[in-house]
Each structure stands twice: as structure tokens, then as C-alpha cells.
Structure 1
Amino acid sequence: MAQPLLLDSTWRDQQKFENAEAVYQCTIAGTSGNNKENSGSSKLINEIAEARQQIQKALSSSGGSALSSGGDGQFNNRMNTLETENKELKKIVDDMKKMVSKLESRVTALEGGKSSATGSKPAPAPADDDDDDDDFDLFGDDDVMEEAQAEAEKIKQERIKAYADKKAKKPVLIAKSSIVLDVKPWDDETDMKELERCVRTVVMDGLVWGN
């Protein structure tokens, strides 16, 4: 009964209810001394009170249902959103798991390659005995240098000697020339033989005195 009243936007008995409300208020205030009117209006008062209660009930029930329907709609929307987000998160987690699995496989392969390379590395050479260290001479370098210098000097002398021998064995080309010597002072008593002998004492490379 309250639903049609709630949906009806036209209040046809407005004047009637306003008059009844006025009588009701006057009766409460005690301004009306007419008992007849009081007895006649008591029925209207009861109807008004009843109508008020019904209207309040209708409003309460309609408001609750509206809130309930609105709350259900929001709840459903929220649930749908959460389900969508949950699906997206699951997809992201699955992708991350696949990526981690690939990375683990790659790391395992790399570590296997390193271990095989390390295994094929040749073993280090054994260390020399300590006896070699005991035989080490701090002054051995000086002796070696002296020997090297002596050897170099010997080789140098041998080369000089070989060059001199080669030069001595080489035939010398003799150029014939005449030399006129003017010896001064001289006079009639000068010994020419002695003079010639003294001249022939001059020695030069490539110079050969003739007869």
C-alpha cells in the first residue's frame, strides 16, 4: 500500500490533510473547546497518525532496499575489479617465474663452461729445488761481464790482425815517377854517394827506390 503512495507525485488530498493537521495541533494545544469537533476529528487524527507510520515504514523499507541494491552493485563492481587485478598479478608472477627459470638455466650453463675450462688448464710447473738458490752467486754478474769484455777485446784484436795480414798480402801497384832532389848547401867536396844513401833512408808506404 505504501509503494503506490511513494511513487505517486500528485497529492490530491493535501488540503484535507492540512486541515486535519491544524485540528490535531489545536487539540494538542487545548485551544479548541468544542468537544464535538474533537470527537469528530479524532478519527482523522488516527488516520493521519496511521498514514505517517505507513509513510515512515515505506520510506525506511525503500531506502534500505535502495541502499542494499546500491551496496550490492558497488560490491559486485569491486569484486570484478579485484578478480581482474588478481588475474593480471597471476600472469605477471607466471612470467617472472619463467624468466627466473631461464636465467637459472643460463647461469648453470655458464658455470659448467667455466668448470670445464678450469679442468683443462695445465698444471703449474714444479718449483725448482732449493739447491739452485744456494748456488746463486751475488758477484757472478761481474765475472760474466769481465769475461764478455775480454772476449770482445780478443775478437777485436783478431780482426785487426786479419786485416793487416790481408793488406800485406795484397799486391801493391807501383807508380813509376822521378824525383828531383835539390840538396843545399853543397859544394865540390860534398859526398854524393853519402847523400844518395841518406835520401834512400826515406821510407813511405808504397815508395820503392829504384836503382
Structure 2
Amino acid sequence: MSLEILAQEKVWLEKAKYADAERLYYEKMSKANEYESSAICSRDSESSETINAITDLKNAFQKLDDRVRVLEGKPPSSFSSNSSSLKQDIEQLQNLLGKLEIRVATLESKKVTPEKIEIKETPKKEDDDDVDLFGSESEEESEEAAKLKEQRVAEYAARKSKKPTIIAKSNIILDVKPWDDETDMKELEKAVRQVTTDGLLWGASKLVPLAYGIHKLQISCVVEDEKVSIDWLQETLQEIEDFVQSVDIAAFNKI
């Protein structure tokens, strides 16, 4: 029974041979691809080498041709392109030279005659015989200038003297205080106004209440600063001892 069963089973006994055959096949395929790629590269390198060789040959033939031309007395072929431009430049220069020659010829034909300039000779002044070597004229001029200067100084002094001189003045308001409420303020004002001197002018006055029925005399005056001293005026008013207790300055203004 066991042998029959084994006979009926399907077993691939030659698998190893087939595997080896497949491996050899693929190896040959890979080698064929490598050979083709190397062949292509070799063909490309051969083509580039042939191109380089052709260009080198062309250059060599060109050099030989130039040498032959030089030996024959002909210009090289590389100069043929430049020769045409040189010829054109030479022709232009020749044309310019021709035009210049024509212009020079026309200018030489027209001779310019220089105009004669007449120079008028100024007659020389005769030397004066009466020459004052000692400068008498200059002395007269200096005397006239000195007189003119003195005259102008005198005129300026006269104008200055006619101008009114500005006198410095001050406006002062004084507070004159009595002893008590029984002091006669009219007599006090009368005694104050009796103080007179050059440069002192009394003005308006009024009574100003202080306290407890006592009033003070507020009187204004104008004084010339150069003639009247304020300290002197205060001391003089305070000497009226019968009526005046004290004298104060309420206001002081320059005029």
C-alpha cells in the first residue's frame, strides 16, 4: 500500500538541474548587457577621437597653406578679412587729405592784408619851468584844510550848545506823620511847603487816615537829581519837630 501511495505522489526530482540552468541563463544575459554598454562607450570615445583628429588635421592644413602663401609672397588667408577694412580706412584717409589740400589752396589764394592801425602820438607836455621844489602849493592846501577843519569844529560846537540839555529829575511822594490827632495838619503842610531850594518843586497833597483819628500828610514833589538830595530833604522836614514825627518815601519815580 505504501509503495502505491508513493507512486501516486508527484515529486520534482530534477529541480536542482533546472535551477542551475536558470542561473546560467541569467548570468549570460547580464554579461551580454555589460558588453553592449562597454561597446557603446567605446564607440562614443572613438567618435570623439576621430572628430578631434579631423580638427587637428584642418588646423595643420591651414598652417601649411599660410606658410606656402608666405613663401609665395602672398598674405595669409587669415589676413584676408582684415585687408578689406584696412583698404577702406586708407581710402578715407586719402579723401580727407585731398579735402585738406583743397582747403589750404583756397586759403592761400585769399591773402589777408593786415589793416594798418594808426597810432596817434600824444604831444609831450613841456616841462614847467616854474616848478616849486619846496612844495609851496601843498603848504597852501594844508593851511586851507586846517582852516576848514577849525570852521567845522566851531559849527559843531555851536549846534551842540543850542541843543537843550536833559536834566535828570525824580518824582517823589512823601508820607509826613504828625505826633498825634491834635496836630494842626494845615500848619504842618504850611511848614513843609516853606522848605524851598533850587531844584525843588512841591506838588499836590492830601490827608490819608492812619488810625484813631490820626491822619498823615501825603505830598508829592519834583526834584532835580543834581541839585537836591533826597536824604537832605528828609532830614530837613524832620527838623520841624513841632509838627513832624517822621518822614517816609511812599513812591519814587524817575522822570
TM-score strictly above 0.5 = no
